A = this chain, B = another copy of it.
Amino acid sequence: MRQAYHDELNAISAALVDMTNLVGSAMNRATTALLDGDLALAESVISHDEAIDQLYREIEERSLELLARQQPVAGDLRVLITGLRMVADLERMGDLAVHVAKVARRRYPQSAIPAELRATMLEMGQVAQRIVTKAGSVIASRDLDMAAELEKDDDVMDSLHRQVFAELLDGEWQHGMECAIDVTLVGRYFERFADHAVSVTRRVVFIVTGQRLEPATASAVSSA
């Protein structure tokens, strides 16, 4: 009985790691779709979000069932409750990948991203994928060093986000208002994606250390 219970706890944790892989892949493909103006790829991100939502509901239901059936105490209770929070963060990260893909779709056959911002946006996409991959490792291994590394990646994301605004504000913008709005929003989607990944790992840190860190809400523009 206890063995089955711990197997189920581990299975939920493994499903959370699967979810980091799915949302990481979604954001990676959304970034490529955005940069290359690839409609089919954008559509695949949008339609695949249902699989992420499905996994979200499964993890939620399994966690609630375990809570109701096993009445876990102390540590296990905290793990399950924290898992419910993490899965909500991850579901939202999937939505943010969809938002990026929808910008790509709306601007097809053009790319929404002008040449001078391609390198920055590519890097934002790469940092996003790196950060969520590390979040998966932190969930799997509870590795606090990797959690600290991830915070640094988030600083890189914030710096890239500031670069996007600097490009928009340098007085030489030639790409019109629609493109400026897209770039502003896409920058925000990437930044929020990273914030949610930070939030996921901070919840793991809280489980391990009992130390609560504040939610990540840094915003290059609005926190200035």
Contact = CB atoms under 8 A, between A and B. Distances in A.
A103 interface: yes
Contacts of A165: 181
Interface stretch (A6-14, A65-73, A128-136): A65-73
Given A95-B217, A219-B99, A81 B84 contact: yes
Interface in A77-98: 77-78, 81, 84-85, 88, 91, 95
A88 B85 contact: yes
A109 interface: no
Interface of A: 53, 57, 64, 67-68, 71, 73-74, 77-78, 81, 84-85, 88, 91, 95, 99-100, 102-103, 106, 165, 168-169, 173, 177-178, 180-182, 184-185, 188-189, 212, 214-215, 217, 219, 221-224
A53 B215 CA distance: 10
A71 B67 CA distance: 9
Nearest to A219: B99
A113 to B, nearest CB: 15
A177 B180 contact: yes
User: Which 8 pairs across A and B sit closest by C-beta, in order of nearness?
Assistant: A99-B222, A71-B71, A102-B222, A184-B184, A95-B217, A181-B184, A106-B224, A168-B177
A217 B102 CA distance: 13
Contacts of A88: 85, 88
Given A81-B84, A184-B184, A188-B188, 10 more contacts: A53-B214, A57-B212, A68-B73, A68-B77, A81-B81, A91-B215, A95-B215, A99-B222, A102-B223, A185-B188
